[in-house]
Chains A and B, each alone.
Chain A
């Protein structure tokens, strides 16, 4: 599972409050991603990072920001949480499969966020 942890695993927060979700990995991977999962939509990309201080927006980035000051940590911040951001958030890393030049993407256990 590529040593990925996410914290918190569950959170309930009120509309308008800022929330930060943390993704931590222990294997020094450069490429990290934040996705959200909603019924009927599969997983959609929020932001991604190709290294320290190298981040970019994904498909559904409005209302979210990210930071990556260390290789091992990728933080996702909801600047002012809204009910539409109630979702399950997954962090992922991408790594080269040995000798195959193929990329494998592995996911953390997820954070279930409820905005009331």
Chain B
């Protein structure tokens, strides 16, 4: 079956780069997504990458995809305290519902 795995916790200092990693098992996934969830809030779509791409950059966010190893990462440059949140990786194909990882809690220390 489909499975998406993430590490549970990451702590960085303000101004450093953060790298959140994700692995997935469904090789038919067309898109891989990153969502951000702040306490008590819904999920905010941050960015996503098509499975035939290696990299996507969007301002401070860089997504890297290694399709051979089914590994996805999200790099946040110049991490700020406002980036503290839970980050979810998800995979999907077309209109199908997404399969989510269990989330990585990012803590940014001043």
Binding site for B on A (CB under 8 A): 1, 31, 33, 35, 40-45, 48, 50, 58, 90, 94, 102-110
Contact = CB atoms under 8 A, between A and B. Distances in A.
A43 B45 contact: no
Contacts of A104: 45, 48
A102 B88 contact: no
B96 to A, nearest CB: 8
B45 A105 contact: yes
Interface of B: 4, 30-31, 33, 35, 41-45, 48, 50, 88, 90, 92, 94-95, 97-98, 100-103
6 contacts: A48-B97, A105-B45, A107-B44, A109-B41, A110-B41, A110-B42
A90 B92 CA distance: 17
A102 B95 contact: no
By secondary structure, the A interface counts as strand
Given A90-B42, A109-B42, A103 B97 contact: no
Contact of A105 (B30, B50, B92): B92
Contacts of B4: 42
A42 B50 contact: no
A21 B45 CA distance: 23
A41 B102 contact: yes
A24 to B, nearest CB: 14
